[in-house]
Structure 1
């Protein structure tokens, strides 16, 4: 698995999140705006309020995804890393870790990579470590074999 392919897959996933949030906002706005006045009184306003809350919730999700995309666009894929930091791809011989954002396990070309943030427990443990360094995480010893 190359860092370029992994990055392309991650950006595609984030683009999907952005489009999904935009679509959800549009649908919630349409539902809110199509809500008809009811003779029951408060039912009309309650429905509109719920739809507006749905719009706001999806706007927050959209903002998070767009901010994440902007962060990831700042990664220099050609940079050679001497230590684990934001944008590095780390191998311990068994697992790959992409230090960027918490997206979980991503499959590319039949191989798995854990996309983690520096704020995660394992991200904190790996941060600023070099090839050959060992960390203890969840009762296991992890030795850094390669950093890209």
Structure 2
């Protein structure tokens, strides 16, 4: 598998995870809206008002989650897997003596073929340490020494 094919597969996996989150949150919001409509038909007094207030809070929380997912969607669209650089940046595959990282969004370990890649956000602690590093550079994370083997 070429580097471009590998990056394409990893990016697709990241996109799929974000799209599933997006769909789930949209469904949650739709369910809350439906529940609010049903609550409006009820005239149970204080119990009715408490139920509506809790649904409103749930809707606000779901709205915040939706905003976060939309930010991730925008970030994914910015990832350019075709440009080449000899330093780690958004969209880079960074091979170290400890693990291989795909700088994208934080979704954790993804297995492609027989290899495992860690998808990490650029602004995560490990993403910040990897940022700008080149082949041969070293750094320490969680008291472990890392050496960059290559950047693609």
State if a TM-score over 0.5 links the two structures.
yes
Extract unaligned runs of 5+ from structure 2. none
TM-score normalised per structure 1? 0.91
- What residue in structure 1 maps to residue 36 of structure 2? 32
Alpha-carbon contact 1:96-1:112 (below 8 Å) kept: yes
Equivalents in 2 of 1:109, 1:65: separation in Å?
28
Q: Which runs of 4+ in 1 moved over 3 A?
A: none
Displacement of 1:95: 1.4
Contact 1:92–1:143 (CA<8 Å) still a contact in 2? yes
Q: Return 5+ residue gaps in structure 1 as ranges.
A: none
More helix by share: 2
Out of 13, 18, 23, the residue aligned to residue 14 of structure 1 is 18
Contact 1:18 1:62 (8 Å CA) reproduced: yes
2:136 is the alignment partner of 1:145: no
Q: After superposition, give the CA deviation of every residue in 1:77-116 in whole Å (9 maximum; x if it has no partner).
A: 1111211112211111441111122222223334322121
8 Å contact 2:103–2:121 — kept in the other structure? yes
Aligned residues: 146
Q: CA deviation at 1:20?
A: 0.3
User: Once superposed, what is the RMSD of the aligned Cα atoms?
Assistant: 1.5
